[in-house]
């Protein structure tokens, strides 16, 4: 028996097929993973993502500490509520986790930050975050009392706006991409225009005690409950990495198509892993993460071998059948250089695949060339 989110009973009631996910009992689907996938691309679906770990960083040293801890620079967050995607690296530049950091402001005008990290890496992350905070004037507080619901799809925002009270709705409608807001000054409800699907949508953190009622309100508003299966096909179509599959401690951001999240050239800070990543940049990373497309029959899957000119040069890190496109797509880490085509070995047979730059799908339509 694993951990259960506040919404566990709601999942069982809705016919969710429960599986173990990083120690949590979570729904993989509620009947049809493909229908759930299409619901998000065409209308609106929702995911229970309460298993993710929320960590608040408070205190006068918070900014300085996070500029040390994270490969992206929290100074890019010009106003409260803004969010940033970043890697957290170890000294050798290997990726410990990827996470979202929000800049917040308290009633006294003091900045604080909220991190949302992966559930499978929770213990490792918390230990690292704690250890690195020793020389900074900060307090670290995990927030297990929060549930999180992601509402995603072209109709996500208008549906949530209908469900919330009027004063709250105005705040939600005014959010720009990658921005969040607390709904009440003293409240715990935090609504952000973020997601992991390649569609517009919201991620809402709320107290565990409010979760069941809100989930039911969304169901009543015709939001389709979606499981982790659809979450995976959606994120892969959107070209988004999954920690543990597409990256881990053994690879750097440059080898994981995450260079855009690394700020190497700021002279007023030194983040953990910086010197290793600088050296890698000077020498050039020798591997890269690319997108693969198989237009014939068959499904690309993690750990299949990738061959360039007949030589094995890497492997698929995530692969699936793309419900939106009707054929298989994948992310693969390969030795540079790789041309416009390569081969993947599926059940001992080699198939020619196209090499593309992810994402594959955004806002319901194919975007790669």
* Residue 80 touches another protein, criterion: CB under 8 A: no
Rule CB under 8 A: which of 226-245 touch another protein? Answer: 229, 233
* Residue 301 touches another protein, criterion: CB under 8 A: yes
DSSP sequence for 126-186: HHHHHHHTTTSS-EEEE-TTEEEEEEESTTHHHHHHHHS-HHHHHHHHTPPTTBEEESSSS
Q: Which is nearer to another protein, 42 or 143 (CB)?
A: 42
Rule CB under 8 A: which of 10-69 touch another protein? Answer: 28-29, 32-34
Q: Which is nearer to another protein, 124 or 301 (CB)?
A: 301
* Residue 197 touches another protein, criterion: CB under 8 A: no
Helices 33-42 & 228-237 angle (0-180, nearest 10): 50
Q: Which is nearer to another protein, 30 or 102 (CB)?
A: 30
Residue 256: count other Cβ atoms within 10 Å of its Cβ.
24
Kindly state the tokens that stand for 95: 């990726």
The number of angstroms, rounded, from the C-alpha of 76 to the middle of its chain's C-alpha atoms is: 19
Kindly state the tokens that stand for 176: 């720009």
Min. distance of Cβ 33 from another protein in angstroms? 5
* Residue 298 touches another protein, criterion: CB under 8 A: yes
* Residue 324 touches another protein, criterion: CB under 8 A: no
CA-CA distance, 316 to 301, in Å (whole number)?
Answer: 6
CA-CA distance, 114 to 362, in Å (whole number)?
Answer: 27
Kindly state the tokens that stand for 20: 């173990």
Min. distance of Cβ 16 from another protein in angstroms? 13
Min. distance of Cβ 17 from another protein in angstroms? 8
Q: Please identify which residue in 93, 239, 323, 358 interacts with another protein, judged by CB under 8 A.
A: 323
CA-CA distance, 226 to 211, in Å (whole number)?
Answer: 16
| Interacting residues with another protein (CB under 8 A) | 28-29, 32-34, 229, 233, 297-299, 301, 320-321, 323, 347
């Amino acid at each position: 028996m694993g951990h259960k989110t506040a919404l566990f009973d709601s999942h069982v009631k809705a016919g969710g097929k429960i599986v173990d996910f990083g120690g949590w009992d979570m729904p993989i689907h509620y009947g049809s993973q493909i229908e759930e996938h299409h619901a998000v691309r065409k209308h609106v679906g929702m995911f229970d993502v309460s298993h993710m770990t929320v960590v608040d960083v408070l205190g006068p040293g918070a900014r300085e500490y996070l500029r040390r801890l994270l490969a992206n620079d929290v100074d890019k967050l010009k106003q409260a509520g803004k969010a940033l995607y970043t890697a957290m690296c170890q000294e050798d530049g290997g990726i410990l986790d990827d996470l979202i950091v929000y800049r917040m402001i308290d009633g006294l005008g003091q900045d604080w930050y909220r991190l949302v990290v992966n559930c499978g890496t929770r213990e490792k992350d918390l230990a690292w975050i704690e250890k690195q905070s020793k020389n900074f004037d900060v307090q670290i507080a995990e927030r297990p009392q929060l549930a999180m619901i992601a509402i995603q799809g072209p109709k996500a925002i208008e549906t949530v706006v209908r469900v919330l009270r009027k004063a709250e709705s105005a705040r939600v409608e005014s959010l720009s991409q990658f921005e969040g807001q607390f709904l009440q000054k003293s409240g715990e409800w935090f609504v952000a225009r973020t997601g992991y699907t390649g569609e517009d949508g919201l991620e809402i953190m709320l107290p565990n005690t409010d979760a069941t009622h809100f989930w039911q309100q969304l169901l009543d508003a015709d939001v389709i409950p979606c499981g982790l299966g659809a979450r995976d096909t959606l994120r892969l179509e959107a070209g988004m990495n999954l920690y543990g599959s597409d990256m881990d401690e053994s690879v750097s951001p440059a080898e994981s198509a995450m260079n855009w999240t690394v700020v190497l050239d700021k002279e007023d800070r030194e983040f953990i892993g910086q010197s290793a990543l600088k050296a890698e940049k000077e020498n050039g990373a020798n591997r890269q993460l690319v997108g693969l497309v198989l237009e014939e029959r068959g499904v690309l899957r993690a750990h299949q071998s990738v061959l360039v000119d007949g030589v094995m040069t890497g492997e698929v890190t995530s692969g699936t059948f793309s419900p939106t496109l009707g054929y298989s797509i994948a992310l693969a880490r390969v030795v540079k250089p790789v041309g416009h085509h390569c081969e993947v070995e599926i059940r001992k047979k080699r198939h020619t695949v196209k090499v593309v730059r992810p994402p594959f799908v955004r806002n319901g339509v194919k975007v790669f060339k």
